[in-house]
Structure 1
Protein backbone atom coordinates (compact mmCIF):
# COMPACT_ATOMS: atom_id res chain seq x y z
CA UNK A 1 0.00 0.00 0.00
CA UNK A 2 1.28 3.46 -0.93
CA UNK A 3 0.38 6.60 1.00
CA UNK A 4 1.26 10.06 -0.30
CA UNK A 5 1.92 13.10 1.87
CA UNK A 6 3.53 16.54 1.58
CA UNK A 7 6.13 18.06 3.89
CA UNK A 8 7.30 21.67 3.79
CA UNK A 9 10.99 22.20 2.98
CA UNK A 10 11.30 25.53 4.76
CA UNK A 11 14.81 26.39 3.55
CA UNK A 12 13.64 26.26 -0.07
CA UNK A 13 10.11 27.49 0.65
CA UNK A 14 8.58 24.52 -1.19
CA UNK A 15 6.74 21.25 -0.58
CA UNK A 16 8.27 17.83 -1.01
CA UNK A 17 5.97 14.96 -1.95
CA UNK A 18 6.65 11.78 0.02
CA UNK A 19 5.56 8.33 -1.22
CA UNK A 20 5.30 5.91 1.73
CA UNK A 21 5.10 2.17 1.16
CA UNK A 22 3.55 0.21 4.03
CA UNK A 23 3.87 -3.58 4.21
CA UNK A 24 0.81 -5.84 3.86
CA UNK A 25 -1.32 -6.00 7.00
CA UNK A 26 0.39 -2.90 8.43
CA UNK A 27 -2.92 -1.58 9.77
CA UNK A 28 -3.93 -4.97 11.20
CA UNK A 29 -0.79 -5.36 13.32
CA UNK A 30 1.23 -3.52 15.95
CA UNK A 31 4.60 -4.54 14.52
CA UNK A 32 7.40 -2.00 14.03
CA UNK A 33 9.45 -1.98 10.84
CA UNK A 34 12.89 -1.01 9.54
CA UNK A 35 12.83 1.94 7.15
CA UNK A 36 14.33 2.49 3.71
CA UNK A 37 14.61 6.11 2.55
CA UNK A 38 15.01 6.57 -1.19
CA UNK A 39 15.47 9.47 -3.56
CA UNK A 40 13.34 10.04 -6.69
CA UNK A 41 10.40 8.57 -4.81
CA UNK A 42 8.01 9.09 -7.73
CA UNK A 43 9.99 6.50 -9.75
CA UNK A 44 9.73 3.68 -7.21
CA UNK A 45 6.20 2.31 -7.25
CA UNK A 46 3.80 3.26 -10.04
CA UNK A 47 4.46 3.72 -13.75
CA UNK A 48 2.01 6.62 -13.99
CA UNK A 49 4.16 8.65 -11.57
CA UNK A 50 7.54 7.76 -13.08
CA UNK A 51 9.47 10.33 -15.09
CA UNK A 52 9.92 8.06 -18.10
CA UNK A 53 6.75 5.98 -17.69
CA UNK A 54 8.37 2.96 -16.03
CA UNK A 55 8.93 2.56 -12.29
CA UNK A 56 11.08 0.23 -10.21
CA UNK A 57 7.89 -1.74 -9.33
CA UNK A 58 9.25 -1.91 -5.82
CA UNK A 59 5.82 -2.41 -4.25
CA UNK A 60 5.35 -5.73 -6.04
CA UNK A 61 8.80 -6.89 -4.92
CA UNK A 62 8.34 -5.87 -1.29
CA UNK A 63 4.87 -7.42 -1.05
CA UNK A 64 6.49 -10.80 -1.81
CA UNK A 65 9.79 -10.30 0.03
CA UNK A 66 10.32 -12.34 3.17
CA UNK A 67 11.28 -9.34 5.30
CA UNK A 68 8.84 -6.41 5.79
CA UNK A 69 9.86 -2.74 5.49
CA UNK A 70 8.49 0.76 5.37
CA UNK A 71 9.87 2.62 2.34
CA UNK A 72 9.91 6.42 2.23
CA UNK A 73 10.36 7.70 -1.31
CA UNK A 74 11.20 11.41 -1.36
CA UNK A 75 10.17 13.00 -4.64
CA UNK A 76 12.60 15.46 -6.20
CA UNK A 77 11.67 18.91 -7.53
CA UNK A 78 10.96 18.86 -11.25
CA UNK A 79 11.52 22.47 -12.22
CA UNK A 80 14.60 23.48 -14.21
CA UNK A 81 17.92 22.40 -12.69
CA UNK A 82 16.58 21.84 -9.19
CA UNK A 83 16.92 18.07 -9.11
CA UNK A 84 20.63 18.30 -9.97
CA UNK A 85 21.13 20.99 -7.33
CA UNK A 86 19.16 19.14 -4.63
CA UNK A 87 20.94 15.86 -5.28
CA UNK A 88 24.44 17.33 -5.32
CA UNK A 89 26.22 18.10 -2.05
CA UNK A 90 28.79 20.42 -3.66
CA UNK A 91 29.14 23.21 -6.21
CA UNK A 92 30.27 21.54 -9.43
CA UNK A 93 31.50 22.66 -12.84
CA UNK A 94 30.94 19.86 -15.33
CA UNK A 95 31.43 19.87 -19.10
CA UNK A 96 28.23 17.87 -19.65
CA UNK A 97 25.95 19.09 -16.84
CA UNK A 98 27.24 22.66 -16.68
CA UNK A 99 27.31 24.60 -13.41
CA UNK A 100 25.57 22.99 -10.44
CA UNK A 101 25.06 25.02 -7.27
CA UNK A 102 24.52 22.03 -5.03
CA UNK A 103 22.46 22.34 -1.86
CA UNK A 104 22.54 18.63 -1.00
CA UNK A 105 23.73 19.25 2.55
CA UNK A 106 20.81 21.61 3.15
CA UNK A 107 18.46 19.00 1.72
CA UNK A 108 19.89 16.23 3.91
CA UNK A 109 19.48 18.40 7.00
CA UNK A 110 15.81 18.61 6.02
CA UNK A 111 15.63 14.81 5.60
CA UNK A 112 17.14 13.97 9.00
CA UNK A 113 15.68 16.90 10.97
CA UNK A 114 12.18 17.05 9.47
CA UNK A 115 11.27 14.06 7.26
CA UNK A 116 12.71 11.27 9.41
CA UNK A 117 11.21 12.58 12.70
CA UNK A 118 7.84 12.96 10.96
CA UNK A 119 7.96 9.38 9.68
CA UNK A 120 9.09 8.03 13.07
CA UNK A 121 6.29 9.93 14.83
CA UNK A 122 3.48 8.98 12.43
CA UNK A 123 4.40 5.38 11.51
CA UNK A 124 5.50 2.33 13.48
CA UNK A 125 9.18 2.42 12.61
CA UNK A 126 12.31 1.03 14.20
CA UNK A 127 14.09 4.40 14.26
CA UNK A 128 17.64 3.30 15.07
CA UNK A 129 20.39 3.66 12.44
CA UNK A 130 20.92 -0.11 12.41
CA UNK A 131 17.43 -0.42 10.92
CA UNK A 132 17.63 2.56 8.55
CA UNK A 133 18.83 2.50 4.93
CA UNK A 134 19.29 5.13 2.21
CA UNK A 135 19.16 4.45 -1.54
CA UNK A 136 18.97 6.01 -4.97
CA UNK A 137 20.16 5.99 -8.56
CA UNK A 138 22.11 8.38 -10.77
CA UNK A 139 22.26 11.72 -8.89
CA UNK A 140 20.24 9.93 -6.20
CA UNK A 141 23.03 7.36 -6.04
CA UNK A 142 25.54 10.15 -5.52
CA UNK A 143 23.39 11.52 -2.71
CA UNK A 144 23.07 8.06 -1.16
CA UNK A 145 26.84 7.75 -1.04
CA UNK A 146 27.22 11.24 0.39
CA UNK A 147 24.51 10.49 2.95
CA UNK A 148 26.08 7.27 4.22
CA UNK A 149 29.37 9.13 4.67
CA UNK A 150 28.26 12.49 6.09
CA UNK A 151 25.11 11.32 7.93
CA UNK A 152 26.33 7.92 9.09
CA UNK A 153 24.88 8.49 12.54
CA UNK A 154 21.40 8.10 10.98
CA UNK A 155 21.95 5.42 8.28
CA UNK A 156 23.78 2.10 8.39
CA UNK A 157 23.15 0.90 4.82
CA UNK A 158 23.25 2.48 1.38
CA UNK A 159 22.29 1.33 -2.12
CA UNK A 160 24.12 3.54 -4.63
CA UNK A 161 23.07 2.58 -8.17
CA UNK A 162 24.65 4.16 -11.27
CA UNK A 163 25.91 6.95 -9.03
CA UNK A 164 27.08 10.21 -10.61
CA UNK A 165 30.22 10.19 -8.48
CA UNK A 166 32.53 11.17 -11.32
CA UNK A 167 31.37 14.79 -11.22
CA UNK A 168 32.74 15.34 -7.70
CA UNK A 169 35.19 12.53 -6.99
CA UNK A 170 37.76 14.72 -5.22
CA UNK A 171 35.14 16.31 -2.98
CA UNK A 172 33.73 12.89 -2.05
CA UNK A 173 37.20 11.62 -1.21
CA UNK A 174 37.81 14.65 1.01
CA UNK A 175 34.41 14.12 2.63
CA UNK A 176 35.29 10.53 3.41
CA UNK A 177 38.53 11.59 5.06
CA UNK A 178 36.63 13.92 7.39
CA UNK A 179 34.29 11.33 8.88
CA UNK A 180 34.63 8.27 11.09
CA UNK A 181 32.14 5.65 9.95
CA UNK A 182 30.56 2.93 12.05
CA UNK A 183 32.09 -0.41 11.14
CA UNK A 184 28.65 -2.02 10.75
CA UNK A 185 28.02 0.19 7.69
CA UNK A 186 27.32 -1.58 4.38
CA UNK A 187 27.40 0.01 0.94
CA UNK A 188 26.19 -1.41 -2.38
CA UNK A 189 27.82 0.25 -5.43
CA UNK A 190 26.70 -0.57 -8.96
CA UNK A 191 27.21 0.57 -12.53
CA UNK A 192 26.03 -0.83 -15.86
CA UNK A 193 28.18 -2.02 -18.74
CA UNK A 194 25.94 -0.22 -21.27
CA UNK A 195 25.57 3.11 -19.46
CA UNK A 196 28.60 4.79 -20.96
CA UNK A 197 28.95 5.99 -24.52
CA UNK A 198 32.18 4.06 -25.04
CA UNK A 199 34.70 1.77 -23.36
CA UNK A 200 36.57 4.74 -21.94
CA UNK A 201 33.43 5.87 -20.10
CA UNK A 202 32.91 2.37 -18.73
CA UNK A 203 36.53 2.30 -17.56
CA UNK A 204 36.05 5.60 -15.71
CA UNK A 205 32.83 4.41 -14.06
CA UNK A 206 34.54 1.19 -12.98
CA UNK A 207 37.58 3.06 -11.69
CA UNK A 208 35.52 5.54 -9.66
CA UNK A 209 33.28 2.91 -8.07
CA UNK A 210 36.18 0.61 -7.26
CA UNK A 211 38.16 3.50 -5.79
CA UNK A 212 35.23 4.42 -3.55
CA UNK A 213 34.91 0.77 -2.56
CA UNK A 214 38.61 0.61 -1.72
CA UNK A 215 38.49 3.80 0.37
CA UNK A 216 35.51 2.48 2.30
CA UNK A 217 37.21 -0.88 2.81
CA UNK A 218 40.19 0.96 4.29
CA UNK A 219 37.77 2.29 6.89
CA UNK A 220 36.65 -1.32 7.55
CA UNK A 221 33.33 -0.76 5.78
CA UNK A 222 31.85 -3.69 3.86
CA UNK A 223 31.02 -2.96 0.20
CA UNK A 224 29.49 -4.81 -2.72
CA UNK A 225 30.76 -3.36 -6.01
CA UNK A 226 28.57 -4.75 -8.79
CA UNK A 227 29.02 -4.34 -12.54
CA UNK A 228 25.64 -5.08 -14.11
CA UNK A 229 26.31 -6.77 -17.44
CA UNK A 230 24.07 -5.18 -20.10
CA UNK A 231 22.89 -2.72 -17.46
CA UNK A 232 21.67 0.65 -18.70
CA UNK A 233 20.94 3.98 -17.04
CA UNK A 234 17.27 3.15 -16.62
CA UNK A 235 14.58 2.12 -14.16
CA UNK A 236 14.39 -1.30 -15.83
CA UNK A 237 18.04 -2.02 -15.02
CA UNK A 238 17.76 -0.66 -11.48
CA UNK A 239 14.63 -2.72 -10.87
CA UNK A 240 16.58 -5.88 -11.70
CA UNK A 241 19.05 -5.08 -8.93
CA UNK A 242 16.50 -4.77 -6.11
CA UNK A 243 16.82 -8.38 -4.88
CA UNK A 244 20.62 -8.15 -5.09
CA UNK A 245 21.07 -5.06 -2.93
CA UNK A 246 18.23 -5.96 -0.57
CA UNK A 247 19.70 -9.38 0.18
CA UNK A 248 23.20 -7.95 0.58
CA UNK A 249 22.28 -5.01 2.79
CA UNK A 250 19.72 -6.77 4.97
CA UNK A 251 20.57 -10.48 5.02
CA UNK A 252 24.29 -11.12 4.55
CA UNK A 253 26.43 -11.47 7.66
Structure 2
Protein backbone atom coordinates (compact mmCIF):
# COMPACT_ATOMS: atom_id res chain seq x y z
CA UNK A 1 0.00 0.00 0.00
CA UNK A 2 1.34 3.46 -0.88
CA UNK A 3 2.05 6.02 1.83
CA UNK A 4 -0.81 8.24 0.62
CA UNK A 5 -3.29 5.36 0.64
CA UNK A 6 -2.13 4.31 4.09
CA UNK A 7 -2.61 7.83 5.43
CA UNK A 8 -6.05 8.06 3.83
CA UNK A 9 -7.10 4.76 5.37
CA UNK A 10 -5.79 5.83 8.76
CA UNK A 11 -7.71 9.11 8.57
CA UNK A 12 -10.94 7.24 7.78
CA UNK A 13 -10.43 4.92 10.73
CA UNK A 14 -9.85 7.87 13.05
CA UNK A 15 -13.05 9.54 11.89
CA UNK A 16 -15.07 6.45 12.78
CA UNK A 17 -13.54 5.75 16.19
CA UNK A 18 -15.19 6.83 19.44
CA UNK A 19 -14.05 10.21 20.74
CA UNK A 20 -10.70 9.91 22.46
CA UNK A 21 -9.76 10.97 25.96
CA UNK A 22 -7.45 13.97 25.83
CA UNK A 23 -4.67 14.18 28.39
CA UNK A 24 -3.80 17.75 27.43
CA UNK A 25 -5.01 20.70 29.48
CA UNK A 26 -7.87 22.53 27.81
CA UNK A 27 -7.61 26.29 27.44
CA UNK A 28 -10.53 28.71 27.26
CA UNK A 29 -10.69 32.19 25.78
CA UNK A 30 -13.21 33.46 28.33
CA UNK A 31 -14.16 32.40 31.80
CA UNK A 32 -12.08 29.79 33.62
CA UNK A 33 -11.84 26.02 33.94
CA UNK A 34 -11.44 23.96 37.07
CA UNK A 35 -10.15 20.49 36.19
CA UNK A 36 -10.55 17.27 38.14
CA UNK A 37 -8.24 14.87 36.34
CA UNK A 38 -9.79 11.67 37.71
CA UNK A 39 -13.18 12.06 39.31
CA UNK A 40 -13.63 8.92 41.39
CA UNK A 41 -16.81 6.90 40.93
CA UNK A 42 -18.12 3.62 42.28
CA UNK A 43 -20.47 3.33 39.30
CA UNK A 44 -18.26 3.98 36.24
CA UNK A 45 -14.65 4.31 35.19
CA UNK A 46 -12.95 7.37 36.72
CA UNK A 47 -12.59 10.26 34.28
CA UNK A 48 -11.80 13.93 33.86
CA UNK A 49 -14.45 16.48 34.79
CA UNK A 50 -14.03 20.17 33.95
CA UNK A 51 -16.09 22.97 35.44
CA UNK A 52 -16.36 26.14 33.38
CA UNK A 53 -17.11 29.33 35.28
CA UNK A 54 -17.99 32.61 33.55
CA UNK A 55 -15.96 35.77 34.04
CA UNK A 56 -16.95 37.44 37.28
CA UNK A 57 -17.96 34.19 38.97
CA UNK A 58 -18.60 34.94 42.65
CA UNK A 59 -20.15 33.28 45.67
CA UNK A 60 -22.82 35.95 46.08
CA UNK A 61 -24.56 34.67 42.93
CA UNK A 62 -26.37 31.36 42.63
CA UNK A 63 -25.61 29.97 39.17
CA UNK A 64 -27.67 27.57 37.09
CA UNK A 65 -25.82 24.38 36.11
CA UNK A 66 -25.53 22.79 32.66
CA UNK A 67 -24.12 19.26 32.56
CA UNK A 68 -22.57 18.39 29.18
CA UNK A 69 -21.30 15.09 27.80
CA UNK A 70 -18.23 14.49 25.60
CA UNK A 71 -16.30 17.02 27.65
CA UNK A 72 -13.17 16.56 25.54
CA UNK A 73 -14.86 18.30 22.63
CA UNK A 74 -16.29 21.43 24.24
CA UNK A 75 -13.56 24.01 24.80
CA UNK A 76 -10.25 23.61 23.01
CA UNK A 77 -9.91 22.48 19.38
CA UNK A 78 -6.13 22.17 19.82
CA UNK A 79 -6.77 19.08 21.96
CA UNK A 80 -9.61 17.38 20.07
CA UNK A 81 -9.24 14.44 17.69
CA UNK A 82 -10.75 16.34 14.74
CA UNK A 83 -9.53 19.85 15.65
CA UNK A 84 -13.10 21.03 16.20
CA UNK A 85 -14.85 22.21 19.37
CA UNK A 86 -18.25 23.43 20.52
CA UNK A 87 -16.92 26.82 21.59
CA UNK A 88 -18.90 26.58 24.81
CA UNK A 89 -16.86 29.23 26.63
CA UNK A 90 -17.25 31.83 23.89
CA UNK A 91 -20.98 31.35 23.32
CA UNK A 92 -21.90 31.02 26.99
CA UNK A 93 -19.84 34.07 27.96
CA UNK A 94 -21.50 36.22 25.32
CA UNK A 95 -25.02 35.16 26.26
CA UNK A 96 -24.40 35.75 29.97
CA UNK A 97 -22.70 39.11 29.37
CA UNK A 98 -25.59 40.27 27.17
CA UNK A 99 -28.12 39.27 29.79
CA UNK A 100 -29.73 36.90 27.27
CA UNK A 101 -29.36 33.99 29.69
CA UNK A 102 -29.17 33.81 33.45
CA UNK A 103 -25.64 33.20 34.82
CA UNK A 104 -24.65 29.53 34.63
CA UNK A 105 -21.70 27.20 34.91
CA UNK A 106 -20.96 24.22 32.67
CA UNK A 107 -19.93 20.84 34.07
CA UNK A 108 -18.13 19.01 31.25
CA UNK A 109 -17.79 15.25 31.67
CA UNK A 110 -15.29 13.41 29.48
CA UNK A 111 -16.68 10.39 27.71
CA UNK A 112 -15.38 6.92 28.53
CA UNK A 113 -13.54 6.47 25.21
CA UNK A 114 -14.37 2.92 24.08
CA UNK A 115 -17.12 2.79 26.71
CA UNK A 116 -18.91 5.78 25.18
CA UNK A 117 -21.61 3.85 23.33
CA UNK A 118 -22.26 1.57 26.29
CA UNK A 119 -22.56 4.52 28.68
CA UNK A 120 -24.69 6.74 26.45
CA UNK A 121 -27.16 4.17 25.04
CA UNK A 122 -30.42 4.47 27.06
CA UNK A 123 -30.68 1.26 29.05
CA UNK A 124 -34.43 0.91 29.65
CA UNK A 125 -35.32 1.00 25.92
CA UNK A 126 -32.49 -1.44 25.25
CA UNK A 127 -33.72 -3.83 27.92
CA UNK A 128 -37.19 -3.79 26.34
CA UNK A 129 -35.84 -5.48 23.21
CA UNK A 130 -35.96 -9.21 22.63
CA UNK A 131 -32.89 -11.23 23.56
CA UNK A 132 -32.29 -11.93 19.88
CA UNK A 133 -32.39 -8.22 19.01
CA UNK A 134 -30.05 -7.38 21.89
CA UNK A 135 -27.48 -9.89 20.71
CA UNK A 136 -27.75 -8.66 17.14
CA UNK A 137 -27.29 -5.06 18.22
CA UNK A 138 -24.27 -5.98 20.34
CA UNK A 139 -22.71 -7.35 17.15
CA UNK A 140 -23.26 -4.08 15.26
CA UNK A 141 -20.17 -2.61 13.64
CA UNK A 142 -19.06 0.73 12.31
CA UNK A 143 -18.24 1.31 8.66
CA UNK A 144 -14.60 0.42 9.35
CA UNK A 145 -15.60 -2.93 10.89
CA UNK A 146 -14.94 -2.08 14.55
CA UNK A 147 -17.58 -3.07 17.11
CA UNK A 148 -19.96 -0.34 18.25
CA UNK A 149 -20.19 -1.70 21.79
CA UNK A 150 -17.11 -2.59 23.83
CA UNK A 151 -19.26 -4.02 26.63
CA UNK A 152 -22.86 -4.27 27.80
CA UNK A 153 -25.02 -1.16 28.06
CA UNK A 154 -24.36 0.60 31.40
CA UNK A 155 -26.10 3.95 30.97
CA UNK A 156 -28.08 3.50 34.20
CA UNK A 157 -24.76 3.43 36.07
CA UNK A 158 -23.58 6.49 34.15
CA UNK A 159 -26.70 8.38 35.25
CA UNK A 160 -26.19 7.26 38.84
CA UNK A 161 -22.70 8.73 38.64
CA UNK A 162 -24.17 12.05 37.45
CA UNK A 163 -26.99 12.21 39.98
CA UNK A 164 -25.53 10.61 43.10
CA UNK A 165 -21.83 11.50 42.83
CA UNK A 166 -21.14 14.40 40.49
CA UNK A 167 -24.15 16.63 41.22
CA UNK A 168 -23.65 16.47 45.02
CA UNK A 169 -20.00 17.43 44.49
CA UNK A 170 -20.95 20.41 42.32
CA UNK A 171 -23.70 21.48 44.72
CA UNK A 172 -21.25 21.41 47.63
CA UNK A 173 -18.25 23.05 46.00
CA UNK A 174 -19.79 25.72 43.75
CA UNK A 175 -22.19 28.58 44.26
CA UNK A 176 -25.11 27.06 42.39
CA UNK A 177 -28.86 26.79 42.60
CA UNK A 178 -29.50 23.10 43.26
CA UNK A 179 -33.16 22.84 42.28
CA UNK A 180 -34.61 21.24 39.15
CA UNK A 181 -35.48 24.59 37.56
CA UNK A 182 -31.77 25.46 37.43
CA UNK A 183 -30.31 22.07 36.48
CA UNK A 184 -29.96 21.12 32.80
CA UNK A 185 -28.24 18.54 30.62
CA UNK A 186 -27.01 18.65 27.03
CA UNK A 187 -25.23 16.54 24.44
CA UNK A 188 -25.05 15.62 20.78
CA UNK A 189 -25.50 12.38 18.87
CA UNK A 190 -25.31 9.60 21.50
CA UNK A 191 -24.91 12.45 23.99
CA UNK A 192 -28.34 13.64 22.84
CA UNK A 193 -29.83 10.26 23.61
CA UNK A 194 -28.38 10.09 27.10
CA UNK A 195 -29.51 13.67 27.81
CA UNK A 196 -33.13 12.86 26.96
CA UNK A 197 -32.86 9.63 28.96
CA UNK A 198 -31.50 11.50 31.99
CA UNK A 199 -34.45 13.87 31.96
CA UNK A 200 -36.93 11.01 31.86
CA UNK A 201 -35.19 8.81 34.41
CA UNK A 202 -34.58 11.69 36.83
CA UNK A 203 -37.34 14.26 36.21
CA UNK A 204 -36.99 15.60 39.75
CA UNK A 205 -33.31 16.43 39.12
CA UNK A 206 -33.19 17.85 35.58
CA UNK A 207 -35.52 20.62 34.47
CA UNK A 208 -34.50 20.56 30.83
CA UNK A 209 -32.46 18.70 28.22
CA UNK A 210 -30.97 19.77 24.91
CA UNK A 211 -30.39 16.98 22.41
CA UNK A 212 -28.47 18.03 19.29
CA UNK A 213 -28.31 15.67 16.29
CA UNK A 214 -29.92 13.00 18.44
CA UNK A 215 -28.80 9.56 17.26
CA UNK A 216 -32.19 7.85 17.24
CA UNK A 217 -30.91 4.84 15.20
CA UNK A 218 -28.68 3.87 18.14
CA UNK A 219 -26.33 2.06 15.75
CA UNK A 220 -25.20 2.89 12.19
CA UNK A 221 -27.74 1.07 10.05
CA UNK A 222 -31.52 1.28 9.77
CA UNK A 223 -31.91 -2.17 8.21
CA UNK A 224 -34.09 -4.32 10.52
CA UNK A 225 -33.35 -1.84 13.30
CA UNK A 226 -35.78 -2.13 16.27
CA UNK A 227 -34.13 0.63 18.28
CA UNK A 228 -36.12 3.70 17.15
CA UNK A 229 -39.43 1.97 17.95
CA UNK A 230 -38.12 1.05 21.40
CA UNK A 231 -37.18 4.69 21.94
CA UNK A 232 -40.61 5.91 20.81
CA UNK A 233 -42.35 3.53 23.20
CA UNK A 234 -40.11 4.57 26.07
CA UNK A 235 -40.70 8.28 25.36
CA UNK A 236 -44.43 7.73 25.18
CA UNK A 237 -44.43 6.15 28.62
CA UNK A 238 -41.88 8.34 30.41
CA UNK A 239 -42.12 11.94 29.21
CA UNK A 240 -42.38 14.18 32.28
CA UNK A 241 -45.01 16.88 32.60
CA UNK A 242 -44.45 19.72 30.14
CA UNK A 243 -45.37 22.28 32.79
CA UNK A 244 -42.14 21.56 34.66
CA UNK A 245 -39.70 20.49 31.94
CA UNK A 246 -38.18 21.68 28.68
CA UNK A 247 -36.89 19.60 25.76
CA UNK A 248 -34.87 20.75 22.76
CA UNK A 249 -34.09 18.63 19.66
CA UNK A 250 -32.39 19.46 16.39
CA UNK A 251 -30.67 17.91 13.39
CA UNK A 252 -29.07 18.74 10.07
CA UNK A 253 -29.49 16.69 6.90
CA UNK A 254 -25.91 15.89 5.86
CA UNK A 255 -23.52 13.04 6.74
CA UNK A 256 -24.84 11.09 9.77
CA UNK A 257 -27.58 13.65 10.34
CA UNK A 258 -29.22 12.52 7.10
CA UNK A 259 -30.58 9.54 9.09
CA UNK A 260 -32.52 11.70 11.54
CA UNK A 261 -35.31 13.79 9.92
CA UNK A 262 -37.93 11.04 9.59
CA UNK A 263 -37.09 9.60 13.02
CA UNK A 264 -37.34 13.02 14.67
CA UNK A 265 -40.77 13.52 13.09
CA UNK A 266 -42.03 10.48 14.99
CA UNK A 267 -40.57 11.85 18.22
CA UNK A 268 -42.27 15.18 17.55
CA UNK A 269 -45.64 13.44 17.27
CA UNK A 270 -45.11 11.95 20.73
CA UNK A 271 -44.10 15.33 22.15
CA UNK A 272 -47.27 16.95 20.81
CA UNK A 273 -49.38 14.05 22.07
CA UNK A 274 -48.18 14.71 25.60
CA UNK A 275 -49.03 18.39 25.52
CA UNK A 276 -45.61 19.86 24.80
CA UNK A 277 -45.78 23.22 23.01
CA UNK A 278 -43.45 26.01 21.94
CA UNK A 279 -43.25 27.10 25.58
CA UNK A 280 -41.45 23.93 26.63
CA UNK A 281 -40.37 22.12 23.47
CA UNK A 282 -38.37 23.04 20.39
CA UNK A 283 -37.34 20.95 17.38
CA UNK A 284 -35.12 22.73 14.85
CA UNK A 285 -33.97 21.56 11.42
CA UNK A 286 -30.76 22.93 9.90
CA UNK A 287 -30.64 22.21 6.14
CA UNK A 288 -27.16 21.68 4.76
CA UNK A 289 -25.59 21.08 8.19
CA UNK A 290 -23.66 17.94 9.03
CA UNK A 291 -22.81 15.87 12.10
CA UNK A 292 -19.88 17.78 13.59
CA UNK A 293 -18.73 20.03 16.39
CA UNK A 294 -18.47 22.90 13.92
CA UNK A 295 -22.17 22.52 13.10
CA UNK A 296 -23.17 22.32 16.77
CA UNK A 297 -21.03 25.34 17.59
CA UNK A 298 -22.85 27.43 14.98
CA UNK A 299 -26.22 26.87 16.66
CA UNK A 300 -25.23 26.39 20.30
CA UNK A 301 -26.83 29.69 21.27
CA UNK A 302 -30.28 28.36 20.30
CA UNK A 303 -30.54 25.57 22.90
CA UNK A 304 -28.74 27.64 25.52
CA UNK A 305 -31.27 30.45 25.18
CA UNK A 306 -34.15 27.97 25.08
CA UNK A 307 -33.08 26.38 28.36
CA UNK A 308 -31.54 29.31 30.18
CA UNK A 309 -33.19 32.50 28.93
CA UNK A 310 -33.30 35.17 31.61
CA UNK A 311 -37.10 35.06 31.62
CA UNK A 312 -37.11 31.26 32.15
CA UNK A 313 -36.90 31.26 35.92
CA UNK A 314 -39.51 28.54 36.39
CA UNK A 315 -39.32 25.39 34.31
TM-score (normalizing by structure 1): 0.89
Cα distance, 1:220–1:163 mapped onto 2, change above 3 Å: same
Q: Which runs of 5+ in 2 are unaligned?
A: 1-31, 127-133, 219-226
Flag the structure with larger Rg.
2
For residues 152 and 217 of structure 1, the distance between their equivalents in structure 2, rounded to whole angstroms, comes to 19
- Asked if the contact 2:52/2:107 (under 8 Å) is kept, the reply is yes
TM-score (normalizing by structure 2): 0.72
1:129-148 aligned at under 5 Å gives the runs 129-148=180-199
1:176-215 aligned at under 5 Å gives the runs 176-179=235-238, 181-183=240-242, 184-196=244-256, 202=258, 204-215=259-270
Is structure 2 residue 42 aligned with structure 1 residue 10? Answer: yes
1:161-187 Cα shifts (integer Å, max 9, x gaps): 111112232332232244351323111
4+ aligned runs moved over 3 Å, structure 1: 94-100
Q: Which runs of 5+ in 1 are unaligned?
A: none
For residues 87 and 193 of structure 1, the distance between their equivalents in structure 2, rounded to whole angstroms, comes to 22
Measured after TM superposition, the shift of residue 249 of structure 1 is 2.2
1:4-43 Cα shifts (integer Å, max 9, x gaps): 113212133x31211111111114x511100000100111
Q: Classify the secondary structure of the residue corresponding to 2:177.
A: coil
Partner of residue 24 from structure 1, selected from 55, 77, 87:
55
- Residue 173 of structure 2 corresponds to 122
Aligned alpha-carbon RMSD (Å)? 2.0
- Residue 225 of structure 1 corresponds to 283
**Alignment: residue pair count:** 244
1:167-224 Cα shifts (integer Å, max 9, x gaps): 232332232244351323111111111134xxxx83x511211211221222223321
- Asked if the contact 2:200/2:238 (under 8 Å) is kept, the reply is yes
For residues 217 and 250 of structure 1, the distance between their equivalents in structure 2, rounded to whole angstroms, comes to 22
- Residue 53 of structure 1 corresponds to 83
- Asked if the contact 1:136/1:144 (under 8 Å) is kept, the reply is yes
Cα distance, 1:49–1:151 mapped onto 2, change above 3 Å: farther
Point out the structure with the larger strand share: 1
Cα distance, 1:170–1:152 mapped onto 2, change above 3 Å: same
- Residue 88 of structure 1 corresponds to 121
Moved more, 219-228 or 96-105: 96-105
- Asked if the contact 1:150/1:175 (under 8 Å) is kept, the reply is no
Q: Classify the secondary structure of the residue corresponding to 1:3.
A: strand
Measured after TM superposition, the shift of residue 99 of structure 1 is 5.8
Is structure 2 residue 274 aligned with structure 1 residue 243? Answer: no
